[in-house]
Structure 1
Amino acid sequence: MKFSALGDQAIIVTFGEEIKMGIYEKVQRLFKALQQHPFAGMIECVPSFTSLAVYYNVYEVWKRNERSERSYDYVRQYIKELCDSYKEEVKHDVKHISIPVCYGGEYGPDLEEVAHYHGLQVEDVIRIHSETTYFVYMLGFTPGFPYLGGLSKELETPRKETPRLQISPGSVGIGGNQTGIYPLETPGGWNIIGRTPITLFNPKEEIPTYIQSGMYLRFIPITKEEYVSLEGAKEWM
């Protein structure tokens, strides 16, 4: 467990460098512990693949610890002691979701390039990508963008040398050893192999993101006709 300052109002607690379940569970354990036992002045916690960012009000922390030490030092010590004393198990409500994807063509302009890079047929890329069950480690980059663990090494593909200035919402991409879905229209450098018709982010909903951290996810290949009939749907299956 390593600590580092993020400006003067946050601390990052890092548990490792690899994307794997054991490290994810340590991040979630501290996240849960701080939610249940927040220190005075804590604002919020943001989990990622391997670390937890803890944001706080510098003045409130300094005031509550009787101004005897720097806010950063106080928060670091608080987290160390909490990690040592917190014994509760982290339990997850396991939820599996399926995401329909139309691969290739206008929806996946880089599918053939990815297949060529690996010496595979397009059908092989679709099969390998869709037969895997992925774990949603975190959301980031843009609202609702899921970072998924579990991409087959057979499909690991370098990001594009020149990013696109505009990627359509729902685009499914591969970047390095990760795969994910662009919920909003944004620039991006991942290889786009398909697109889902499902709306992944709606700020008007009580829960605006369709995909949540901690879910298990599979991609289901669909035809162009099925894509058109589902376009804009809020959920599927």
Structure 2
Amino acid sequence: MKTRYSFGGDEHIFVEMDEEMSLDAFFKSLSMTTAVREADIDGVTEVCPANASFQVKFDPDRIKPDDMLAELKALEHTAESAEKRLNTRIVEFPVYYQDPWTHETLMRFRDRHQDPSGSDLDYAARINGFNTVEEFITAHHSAPWFVSMVGFVSGLPFLYQLVERKKQLEVPKYVRPRTDTPKQTVGYGGCFSCIYSVRGAGGYQMFGITPVTIFDPKQETSYLRDFLVFFKPGDLVKFTPISREEYDATLAEVQANRYTPRVREVEFDLEAFNADMDGFNKKLMGALNDV
């Protein structure tokens, strides 16, 4: 893994851990951003983490760009030797796959898709070697997901599935982006799933929708009164398929402020995960059933 540093004008430095996403790259990026904050470097005004990279904003009147670069490179060794464990939480998120709202939307934009003859799920299942859409949906929700970053639009999580590389689902984005995506759509682009926090433009394939609010700028939702964004990097997510009836019931609970997401505190150990991915995932998902 070779770290690449590049300047963004005279007040930003972009640090890329690897050209491809991996949990090793994420943990190194997380360790470096933590080290930058703890170093309290004079002149640093913001640290913005991403999937396997981060960007530092600094005041060039307080620290020269070359000096800022030297400070970051000096912290890289600290990140490489950091323990790859994370105290975090796993959250169960219900998903209504093949819902009517995302289906109506994707049919309006078939001229922007690689395969106008079917749905987004038809295309995703076929190019990933599944015989049916149902098999692809099972693969999508059968293993937990790791929130590697939050952003693009407020509150949107990028989710990386915790499976070995050969089992990784991959689906390209639309050839041309849509001008509409329903709020709380569960989408997919490249190796990342996501949940659209707001209605708007988008290019990810659309697989379903969740009734659970993940972004509330007014902080009126009961479980978002402390902070308007639900997700944070390092969170783990277990998608659970639900029916239309379950979707309607859960949505009514959310809107009435009676809904509480199922959350459990867990420790994610990268070495233990790499040693036994299936066993570690079962343990993670089993934590949701603990009282």
The TM-score normalised by the length of structure 2 is 0.72
Classify 1:83/1:114 alpha carbon distance in 2 versus 1 (closer, same or farther; 3 Å). closer
* Contact preservation (8 Å) 2:146, 2:237: yes
Preserved CA contact (<8 Å) 1:163 1:188: yes
Q: Distance in 2 between matches of 1:172 and 1:48?
A: 20
The letter of the residue matching 1:120 is N
2:143 maps to 132
2:88, 2:73 → 1: CA distance?
29
Cα offset for 1:72?
0.8
1:79–1:119 distance in 2 versus 1, CA, 3 Å: closer
Q: State the shift of 1:105 in Å.
A: 3.2
1:39 maps to 2:41: yes
Contact 2:161–2:168, Cα closer than 8 Å, also in 1: no
Asked if structure 1 preserves the Cα contact closer than 8 Å seen for 2:178 and 2:202, the reply is: yes
User: Which residues of 2 match residues 61-210 of structure 1 at below 5 A?
Assistant: 61=63, 71-84=64-77, 89=83, 91-109=85-103, 110-117=120-127, 118=129, 120-150=131-161, 153=167, 155-203=169-217, 204=219, 205-210=225-230
Indicate the RMSD between aligned Cα atoms, in angstroms. Answer: 2.2
Aligned-pair distance for 1:184?
A: 0.9
Compare the two structures and name the one with the higher helix fraction: 2
- Deviation at residue 90 of structure 1 after TM alignment: 5.8
Does structure 2 retain, via aligned residues, the 8 Å contact 1:201–1:209?
yes
The aligned length equals 228
Between 1:44-53 and 1:147-156, the stretch displaced more is 147-156
Structure 1 window deviating more from structure 2 (94-103 vs 153-162): it is 153-162
Counterpart code for 2:13 = I
Give the C-alpha shift of residue 122 in structure 1: 2.2
What SS does the corresponding residue of 2:13 show, helix, strand or coil?
A: strand
Structure 1: 5+ residue runs without aligned partners? 62-70
Q: Which runs of 4+ in 1 moved over 6 A?
A: none
Give the aligned residue type for 2:159.
L
The amino acid of 1:74's aligned partner reads D
Q: Distance in 2 between matches of 1:151 and 1:181?
A: 17
Q: Which moved more, 1:116-125 or 1:168-177?
A: 116-125
Conserved 8 A contact 1:151-1:179? no
Q: TM-score, normalised by structure 1?
A: 0.87
Q: CA deviation at 1:216?
A: 1.2
| Counterpart Cα distance in 1 of 2:179 and 2:154 | 18
Q: For residue 18 of structure 1, what is the amino acid of its counterpart?
A: E
- Percent identity, please: 28
Structure 2 CA distance, aligned partners of 1:188 and 1:17?
A: 23
Contact 1:140 1:146 in 2 (8 A): yes
SS of 2:233's equivalent in the other structure is: coil
Q: CA deviation at 1:80?
A: 2.1
1:217 Cα shift? 0.9
1:124-174 CA distances to partner (integer Å, 9 max, x unpaired)?
Answer: 122111102111111121111111112775742222223221111110011
Which residue of structure 2 lines up, in the alignment, with residue 13 of structure 1? 15
